[in-house]
Amino acid sequence: MDIGIVRGLITAALLVLFLGIWAWTWSRKRKVEFDEAAQLPLQDDRQPKNRKEGKEQAT
């Protein structure tokens, strides 16, 4: 096997891997999860996640 063939196979494998990751990240099934993760830096850390926890802590 020539070194050029090995390099070509590695390049092709990396291209397929890149396209697979790209398709996984842009799939519609992942949109909700990625949108929630994108909002994490904007959320206030002191705010309780749901109202019931906040009421229990306040009383």
Query: Over the stretch 4-54, which tens digit does the pLDDT of each residue have?
Result: 999 999 999 999 999 999 998 888 888 888 889 889 988 877 766 666 655
What is this structure's pTM?
0.54
Tell me, what amino acid is at 58?
A
8 A C-beta contact, residue 48 and residue 57: yes
* C-alpha closest to that of 25 among 14, 17, 13: 17
